[in-house]
């Protein structure tokens, strides 16, 4: 142990005596380790962002969005602009207009579509309809605008939402269209800052709704919400879907004015009546029991809806999980490229250490001869030069870790790429630096130990 410590002290002195050369030698390791830290931070951050997005959209989900057709759209033409993520929206060859020049009639996305999907599609776990309207809120002299969302309890399960206080909708609330609501945290903060909201009556549009629950705060970045097309759940008011249709607005309800408007459709090309939202529902989320059937099930749903909508493709069928998986594949390729660059940097740094150590051996042949003549063994010489290589590598590793952390922070702040520096990535980088010192310092150390002591003492 004493001999080992003595050899280590000699190695430290050797590094300090040639400090500038040691620092320049360590630069290769500095940049290599920094590249490893930054690469792992980007990879870990991207993976965490993907997990966060999966929590937002749920798993095994198929999303059906309604599409508001303009005059002249539908059928084959619309299928080109309203494709599902599976590449099959169930488009056919029918024209978008009938023989009389009018757009074929479609019932739009309705609750009856949900019943048809449940009846035909196997392996359905839950289905969540959504109808969204912008309306006014009034309570205690405070007014404001917010989105009122008609849903069922399946909505909270599919979107991983829990309640902070209160209860979910009961069966009687949904079947009877009762005037009850669940509010988001932002709504509670604005309208009920100092009182308990449960049991209070909030005016939503022209109707009064009793607050029966408050959602837990959902923390999500604005970028994630925009990328996934998700609303901020904290700012909405949630009511039973039947209550929304009875007490807020039912767009599928047929009125005399609507019949008159439909009869006149197509007579005025400049009219915007063809853009009226005739869908009863804005969105439907279907969760399957088996993730392996997502793509096939999306195609089946598209065909069911096209048949029910009179061959009008006024909907979009998407599989968010498949889109995220494709995004992850792209990110993995990017990470592999970064890993290759980091590996090359570390290899160049290791070669630099070996080159400098070989030059150091040739410069210090006389020192080696003196040590051997004083009783040093080959093992002592090997340890001395090996320690020097490891010390240089570790110094480069320490500076590389600091540079890598700074680089990860700069990447995160200057771009939309999320980064996350973990303790295991720092430990890995430090271990890689030490390993490089051992591997690339071993050959110069053995070469130094094999020097003939007599020839070494005679050298100038």
pLDDT, tens digit, 9 for 90 and up, residues 168-220: 999 888 888 899 999 999 999 999 998 999 999 999 999 999 999 999 987 76
pLDDT value, residue 355? 79
Q: How confident is the model at residue 412 (pLDDT cuts 50, 70, 90)?
A: confident
Task: Kindly state whether residues 114 and 206 are assigned to the same domain.
Answer: yes
Best mean pLDDT range from 95-99, 283-287, 390-394: 283-287
What is d(CA 243, CA 175) in angstroms, rounded to the nearest whole number? 9
Name which of 235, 208, 279, 236 is nearest 150 in CA terms. 236
* Residue 363 and residue 305 share a domain: no
- Which range among 28-42, 185-199, 238-252 shows the weakest confidence by mean pLDDT? 28-42
Tens-place pLDDT, residues 268-313? 444 444 467 788 899 999 988 887 788 889 899 999 999 998 888 8
- DSSP letter at 123 equals T
Residues constituting the chain: 460
188 DSSP assignment: H
Tell how many helices (H) and how many strands (E) occur in the chain. Answer: 16, 10
Scanning 222-314, the segments in alpha helix (DSSP H) are 222-228, 241-243, 256-263, 294-308
Could you tell me if 98 and 39 lie in one domain?
no
pLDDT at 198: 95
CB half-sphere exposure, 17, CA atoms < 13 A: 9
d(Cα 338, Cα 183) in Å, to the nearest integer?
45
Q: 145 and 271: one domain? A: yes
Q: What's the sign of the alpha-carbon dihedral 3, 9, 12, 14?
A: negative
Residue 151: beta bridge partners?
A: 240
The whole-angstrom separation of Cα 334 and Cα 96 is 43
Q: Is the pLDDT confidence value at 45 over 60?
A: yes
Same domain (yes/no): 208, 175: yes
Say yes or no: 140 and 202 in one domain.
yes
Query: Do 18 and 34 belong to one domain?
Result: yes
Tell me, what's the pLDDT at 167? 93
Over pLDDT 70: what percentage of the chain?
A: 76
Neighbours of 247 (CB within 10 A): 21
Query: pLDDT-derived band of residue 85, with 50, 70 and 90 as boundaries?
Result: very low
354 and 256 both lie in a single domain:
no
- Listed residues 286, 320, 354: the one ending a domain: 320
CA–CA distance, 353 with 347 (Å, rounded to integer): 10
Q: Give the DSSP H or E segment for 436.
A: helix 423-449
243 and 312 inside one domain? yes
Residues 312 and 329 in one domain: no
Q: Which residue has tokens 């408050």?
A: 214
Report d(CA 27, CA 19) in Å as an integer: 13
- Residue 394 main-chain phi, psi, to 5 deg: -70, -40
Bridge pairing between strands 163-166 and 237-240: unpaired
pLDDT score recorded for residue 116:
92
Per-residue model confidence (pLDDT) at position 11: 75
Same domain assignment for residues 289 and 267: yes
Backbone angles phi, psi at 352, to 5 degrees: -65, -40
Distance CA 308, CA 4 (A): 83
C-alpha to C-alpha distance for 336 and 330, rounded to whole angstroms: 10
How do beta strands 237-240 and 142-151 pair? parallel
Question: Which of 320, 344, 365 is the last residue in one of the domains?
Answer: 320
| Closest by CA position to 69, among listed 99, 87, 98, 96 | 96
Tell me the C-alpha distance between 179 and 210, whole Å.
6
Closest CA to 131 of 15, 283, 25: 283
| 447-to-359, 418, 420, 450, 458 alpha-carbon distances in Å | 11, 47, 43, 5, 18
Taking all residues of the chain, what is their mean pLDDT, rounded to a whole number? Answer: 77
pLDDT at 195: 92
Cβ atoms within 10 Å of 458's Cβ, excluding its own:
11
**Rounded CA separation 274/69 (Å):** 7
Domain that holds residue 217: 60-320
Q: Are residues 155 and 261 in the same domain?
A: yes
Counting the structural domains of the chain, the total is: 2
Last residue of a domain, one of 279, 302, 320: 320
């Amino acid at each position: 142990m004493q001999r080992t410590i003595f050899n280590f002290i000699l190695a430290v002195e050797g590094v300090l005596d040639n400090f500038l050369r040691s620092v320049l030698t360590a630069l290769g390791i500095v940049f290599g380790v920094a590249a490893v830290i930054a690469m792992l931070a980007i990879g870990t951050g991207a993976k965490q962002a993907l997990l966060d997005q999966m929590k937002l959209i749920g798993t095994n989900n198929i999303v059906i969005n309604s599409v508001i057709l303009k005059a002249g759209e539908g059928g084959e033409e619309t299928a080109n602009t309203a494709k599902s993520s599976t590449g099959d929206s169930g488009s056919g060859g029918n024209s978008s207009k009938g023989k009389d020049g009018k757009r074929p009639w479609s019932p739009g996305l309705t609750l009856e579509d949900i019943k048809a999907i449940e009846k035909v599609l196997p392996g359905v776990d839950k289905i969540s309809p959504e109808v969204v309207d912008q309306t006014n809120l009034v309570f205690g002299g405070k007014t404001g605008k917010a989105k009122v969302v008609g849903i069922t309890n399946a909505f909270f399960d599919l979107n991983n939402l829990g309640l902070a206080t209160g209860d979910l909708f009961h069966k009687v609330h949904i079947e009877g269209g009762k005037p009850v609501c669940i509010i988001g945290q932002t709504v509670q903060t604005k309208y009920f800052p100092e009182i308990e909201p449960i049991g209070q009556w909030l005016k939503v549009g022209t109707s009064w709704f009793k607050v029966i629950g408050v959602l837990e705060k959902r923390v999500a970045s604005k970028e994630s919400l925009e990328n996934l097309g998700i609303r901020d759940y904290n700012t909405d008011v949630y009511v039973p879907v039947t209550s929304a249709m009875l007490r807020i607005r039912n767009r599928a309800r047929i009125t005399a004015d609507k019949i008159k408007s439909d009869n006149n459709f197509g007579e005025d090309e400049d009219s915007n009546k063809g853009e009226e939202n005739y869908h009863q529902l804005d969105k439907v989320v279907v969760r399957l029991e088996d993730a392996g059937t997502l793509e096939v099930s999306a195609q089946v749903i598209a065909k069911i809806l096209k048949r029910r909508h009179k061959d009008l493709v006024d909907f979009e069928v998407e599989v968010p999980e498949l889109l995220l998986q494709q995004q992850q594949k792209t990110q993995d390729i990017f990470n592999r490229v970064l890993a290759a660059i980091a590996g090359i940097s570390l290899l160049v740094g290791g070669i630099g250490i070996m080159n400098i150590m070989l030059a150091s051996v040739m410069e210090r042949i006389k020192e080696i001869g003196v040590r051997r003549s004083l009783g040093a063994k080959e093992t002592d010489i090997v340890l001395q030069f090996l320690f020097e290589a490891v010390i240089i590598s570790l110094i480069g590793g320490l500076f590389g870790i600091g540079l890598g952390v700074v680089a990860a922070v700069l990447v995160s702040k200057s771009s939309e790429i999320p980064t996350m520096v973990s303790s295991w990535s720092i430990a890995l980088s430090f271990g890689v630096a030490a390993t490089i010192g051992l591997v690339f310092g071993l050959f110069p150390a053995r070469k130094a130990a094999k020097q003939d002591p007599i020839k070494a003492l005679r050298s100038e």
